[in-house]
């Protein structure tokens, strides 16, 4: 049973100071741009501000960035990627809901016809979205920055 999204938003803002501290002390986080037949995989965290983000998450101490990205995508969505499918897009620092974060960005293009996503307890939703759909969605600031850079450098998102 999924808990209501508004409860996740309230808890996010209540716990924000703790989240800020944990993110400052943690290794970098990963985000993965995954394209499937021209659609992009986006997720919405249950504990968050309600914006849509790319799948990914925190690395474990000493964990290889590609391995961590693969692990996070699988944990969140059930999608299993091979590290060899991931291409490094870049690294950058930004802010997410006022929290400074360091991100390692990868991208992968897959071709799955009958791909069924499952969402973990930490996600409210996950799905494949066209560029027209994405234009109407509220994306997090880092996701907007990542996709703007990716569109310019990779010509895979039309």
Q: Give me the domain span that covers residue 114.
A: 5-154
Which residues contact residue 144 at a Cβ distance below 8 angstroms, ignoring those fewer than 6 apart? none
Domain count, the chain: 1
What CATH number is attached to the domain comprising 57? 3.90.79.10
pLDDT surpassing 60 at residue 158: no
Task: Calculate the average pLDDT of the chain.
Answer: 85
Q: Which two tokens stand for residue 76?
A: 């969140």
pTM of the predicted protein model: 0.80
Q: In this structure, what DSSP letter does residue 60 have?
A: P
Buried b (16+ CB within 10 A) or exposed e, 117-130: bebeeebbebebee
Alpha-carbon torsion, ordered 47, 12, 64, 121, to 10 deg: -20
Distance from C-alpha of 53 to C-alpha of 11, rounded to nearest angstrom: 18
Distance from C-alpha of 21 to C-alpha of 67, rounded to nearest angstrom: 25
Q: Choose from 17-21, 110-114, 135-139 the range with maximum mean pLDDT.
A: 135-139
More confidently predicted of 77 and 24:
77
């Amino acid at each position: 049973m999924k808990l209501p999204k508004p409860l996740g938003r309230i808890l996010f803002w209540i716990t924000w100071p703790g989240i800020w501290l944990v993110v400052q002390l943690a290794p970098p986080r990963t985000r993965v741009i995954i394209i499937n037949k021209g659609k992009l995989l986006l997720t919405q965290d249950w504990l968050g501000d309600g914006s849509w983000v790319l799948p990914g998450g925190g690395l474990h101490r000493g964990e290889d960035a590609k391995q961590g990205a693969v692990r996070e995508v699988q944990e969140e969505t059930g999608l299993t990627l091979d590290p060899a499918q991931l291409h490094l897009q870049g690294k950058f620092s930004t802010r997410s809901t006022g929290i400074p974060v360091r991100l390692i960005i990868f991208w992968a293009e897959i071709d799955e016809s009958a791909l069924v996503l499952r969402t973990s307890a930490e996600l409210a939703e996950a799905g494949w979205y066209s560029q027209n759909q994405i234009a109407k969605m509220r994306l997090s600031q880092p996701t907007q920055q990542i996709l703007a850079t990716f569109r310019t450098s990779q010509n895979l998102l039309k």
